[in-house]
Structure 1
Amino acid sequence: MSAPAQAPDLGRPDAAWHDGPYAAALRTGHGPLFLRRADGWLLPLDVERWCARPDPADHTVLARCDRGPVLDIGCGPGRLVAELAALGRPALGIDVSPAAVSRTVLSGGSALCRSVFDPLPREGSWGTALLMDGNIGIGGDPETLLGRTAALLAPNGTVIAETAPVDIDERVQVHMTDSSAHATGPLFPWARVGPRALRGYARRCGLSTTATWTSQGRTFTELTRGR
């Protein structure tokens, strides 16, 4: 068995998610919360949606989680893991945030406080891996992330990734902040990709695109690992 992929050499974002604005937002169930670039650009994070029950767009993803056990990478407060558990489907969430893991477990899901680049249970046998809510940005290197995710899958397993709705491919350094006025917390790498860029990264990781769809203004791509 090959060794797990190493996290990209851009610094790990764990500290930004452990405490501070992110943990506070999960405890209260609402923002405001942003990723802030050095030039002042802000990416709003939809904490209220993450902490609510799955919406119709989420259900288009859940309907495709039918190839075996599901790994939700960066599960956040665990709405998808909890829903899968309620449906009787085996699922595990992983997140570097203790607050996220705690909220997932309280909501009825199973979760571990781990990075996707840490050793994980059932490596090479997950039926579906989820990269939702912009989590294709984890580590700031989508190709490394997809390569690691592909290695976690069983043959013919799938990745369902939520992308930006427009064609974009950028890697940035950001702060987590609860205010538009100033940055707080450590700087860490992040990425945003659209469907076209995702397909290119996926091909290089041995993943083929099997579906792309949009629901409620959100865009999703299903990728399948070949044997």
Structure 2
Amino acid sequence: MSTVTAPAWAASDPYATALRTGRGPLFLRRGDGWLLPLDVERWCAAADAVDRAVLDRCEGTVLDVGCGPGRLVAELAARGRGALGVDVSEAAVARTHTLGGRALHRSVFDPLPGEGGWGTVLLMDGNVGIGGDVAALLHRMRELLRPDGLLIVETAPGDVDERSRVRVVDVTHGGGAVGEPFPWARVGTPALLALARRGGWPETVQWTDGERCFVALRSRRTSSRAEPPKSTAVMSSQRSRNTSGSSPVADR
């Protein structure tokens, strides 16, 4: 199994500071000056109504990949659900613990607890872009899920399919790039569904809630819908950032 080194932004002072303070603004910036906002304030707040509706669909134990500051893991813990976050940012993991959630400071491509047994895996807040290779990430999700498991992906609005190398920018401190560039991807629902079909994910459900877009994939055909679970499994063993799905803004 390949191991992905934590990207430069994960340990950068502006990113870590933003998570500790709960405030931005931060952006991902491509070499051509294109900017994508990182929705730090929303990530650091409690789970909102859209988040809670997604969590209602989760089945069994839940792994939140790129959990960030932990709002979803904390919400699941408050519901008494077995949940674990994983994030390459030490500050994100620390904040998750502060909120009462459980998280590992680790790449999703590193060995993880419960591989092949997770009921649900989450790729929220644009985390389908981790590593810049969506097909490879989907393959890794299959390794983590149980045979009938559920993968819930938040996609970018619109018909988007792009890969690039980006840096984190703190525009309040001169707009300078922080750290080395790292690979990232943005995909909308059409592109994700095409990749899922090629990757052998037979079940899909797609929906929008407000301005946010989601797809649920089954690792094996079981039912035609992703429904809220009828029971909650308890995780027996548990022991790492996120981007917004919103549209990029002009350079500044």
TM-score, normalization by structure 1: 0.93
Structure 2 counterpart of 1:161: 153
Aligned to 1:185: 179
3-state DSSP of counterpart to 1:206: coil
Distance 2:187 2:205 in 1: 16
Of 122, 131, 142 in structure 2, the residue corresponding to residue 150 of structure 1 is: 142
Give aligned pairs, total: 219
Q: State the 1:57 CA deviation.
A: 1.0
SS in 2 for 1:151: helix
Asked if 1:217 is matched to 2:215, the reply is: no
Over the aligned positions, Cα root-mean-square deviation in angstroms equals 1.4
2:83 is matched with which residue: 73, 79, 91? 91
SS at structure 1 position matched to 2:46: coil
- Alpha-carbon distance between aligned partners in 2 of 1:204 and 1:144, rounded to the nearest angstrom: 12
- Measured after TM superposition, the shift of residue 210 of structure 1 is 2.5
Aligned mate of 2:127, from 135, 149, 152: 135
After TM superposition, the structure 1 = structure 2 runs for residues 60-139 of structure 1, keeping only pairs within 5 Å, are 60-65=53-58, 67-139=59-131
Q: Is the 8 A contact 1:94 1:101 kept in 2?
A: yes
Q: Secondary structure at the match of 2:202?
A: strand
The CA deviation string for residues 65-95 of structure 1, in whole angstroms up to 9 with x for no partner, is: 1x21000000000000000000011000000
Give, in whole Å, the separation in 2 of the partners of 1:19 and 1:177.
10
What does residue range 33-52 of structure 1 map to in structure 2 within 5 Å? 33-52=26-45
- 1:169-208 matches, cutoff 5 A: 169-179=161-171, 181-208=175-202
More displaced, 18-27 or 103-112? Answer: 18-27
Give distance in 2, aligned partners of 1:82 and 1:181: 32
One-letter amino acid matched to 2:144: L
How many Å separate the matches in 1 of 2:44 and 2:178? 22
Instruction: Find the aligned partners of 1:124 and 1:144 in 2 and give their Cα distance.
Output: 16
2:63 and 2:86 in contact (8 A); partners too: yes
| Counterpart contact for 1:77–1:100, Cα < 8 Å | yes
Between stretches 195-204 and 132-141, larger displacement belongs to: 195-204
- Per the TM alignment, residue 173 of structure 1 is displaced from its structure 2 partner at its CA by 0.4
Q: 1:21 Cα shift?
A: 1.7
Farther off after superposition, 11-20 or 79-88: 11-20
In 2, Cα distance between equivalents of 1:13 and 1:197: 26
3-state SS of paired residue (2:63): strand
Separation (CA, whole Å) in 2 of partners of 1:37 and 1:12: 20
Alignment partner of 2:153: what SS?
strand
Structure 1 ranges of 4+ moved more than 6 A: none
Q: Which has the higher contact order (CA 8 A, sep 6+)?
A: 2
**1:129-181 Cα deviation digits (max 9, x unpaired):** 00000000000000000100111000110110000011111000000111173
Counterparts of 1:215 and 1:12, CA distance in 2: 33
What's the offset of the Cα at 1:205?
2.5
Aligned to 1:58: 51
Deviations 1:94-124 (A, max 9, x none): 0000000000001010000010000000000
Amino acid corresponding to residue 186 of structure 1 in structure 2: E
- Residue 12 of structure 1: CA displacement? 4.0
> Which stretches in structure 1 are left out of the alignment for 5+ residues?
none
2:246 maps to none
Where 1:148 maps in the other structure, the secondary structure is helix
Report the Cα offset of residue 13 of structure 1.
Answer: 4.5
- Does 1:24 pair with 2:33? no
